[in-house]
Each structure stands twice: as C-alpha cells, then as structure tokens.
C-alpha cells in the first residue's frame, strides 16, 4: 500500500470477548478469540492508541527489547479513535518477532493509554509474501518429517 492509501480495514477493528465458549475453556477474564492464517500474520504491525506525546523513541526502544526493528513511522491518514492518539506502522525483522511484540504490547498500557497491535499484511510486497509462504512450507516439511 502506498502512503496515501493508509486506511482502516475491517480486520483492524477490535473484536469483543467471546461469550459462547464452553465453561471448561473459559478463563477468569473474558478474551476475544481470533484466528490468524499464514496470510494474515505479517512482519508489519499497526500500533493504535499511542498518546500524542512524541513517544516515537520510547515505542522504538520498547520494540527493540523484543526484536530487531527495520523501521517505524507514523501513519498520518489512518483514521484515529480520537485526536489525542497516534497510529504507527512498524516493520520488524521476522514474523516471530512480530508475534512476540503483539503478545507483549497488545491491550497493554503505554504511557497511561491502552494500545492495540494489529497485523498489517497489506503493507507487504509480493516478494515478501512469497518468502513468507516459502518459509512456512519449509517449516511445515521439517515438522512433518520429524513426526513421520
């Protein structure tokens, strides 16, 4: 996607908690249940709800504790929830790093505001998507060979 096409997609909207889980699977806190396919996961992340206090360096430092950061930029045209928050696009080295960041930062407090982290595969190039699928196929072959 180009810079002027930054827009909120349906999959970036927050999902409420799952109310139909069986009691034996239900924890103390109600959680949202969302499945991700290989195509949905990405090394690109959108971080929503960052307070407008010029926290780019603090956000980058928080991400660098987890994995290597390729680039971080503010999304100007992304529809914000309110005037006091910003949205950032983050590109990390690997999908595993993106998974860790999503797990660590999603729905956590960052300078007093809860932030959301969503995958953004729409920013991937075709070559990056090919490499992602190729790596998954290799990993799947390795795992299946181990058990057969």
* CB burial of residue 100 (10 Å; 0-12, 13-18, 19+): middle
Domain range for 68:
3-147
Taking the model in full, what pTM does it have?
0.82
- Are the CB atoms for 49 and 116 separated by under 8 Å? yes
Which residue intervals of 27-109 are DSSP H helices?
Answer: 56-64, 95-105
CATH number for the domain harbouring residue 134: 3.30.70.330
pLDDT tens digits along 13-38: 777 777 777 888 777 777 777 778 88
pLDDT tens digits along 72-129: 999 988 877 688 999 999 999 999 999 999 999 998 999 999 999 999 999 999 999 9
Structure tokens at 139: 């990993």
Backbone phi and psi for residue 59, each to the nearest 5 degrees, phi listed first? -65, -45
Q: How many domains does the chain fold into? A: 1
């Amino acid at each position: 996607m180009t810079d002027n096409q930054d827009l909120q997609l349906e999959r970036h909207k927050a999902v409420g908690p799952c109310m139909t889980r069986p009691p034996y699977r239900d924890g103390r806190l109600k959680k949202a249940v969302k499945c991700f396919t290989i195509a949905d996961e990405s090394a690109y992340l959108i971080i929503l709800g960052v307070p407008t206090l010029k926290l780019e360096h603090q956000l980058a430092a928080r991400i660098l504790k987890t994995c290597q950061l390729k680039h971080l930029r503010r999304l100007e045209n992304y529809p914000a929830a309110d005037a006091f928050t910003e949205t950032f696009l983050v590109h990390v080295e690997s999908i595993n790093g993106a998974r860790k960041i999503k797990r660590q930062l999603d729905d956590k407090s960052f300078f007093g505001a809860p932030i959301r982290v969503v995958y953004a595969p729409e920013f991937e190039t075709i070559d990056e998507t090919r490499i992602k699928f190729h790596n998954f196929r290799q990993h799947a072959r390795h795992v299946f060979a181990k058990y057969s």
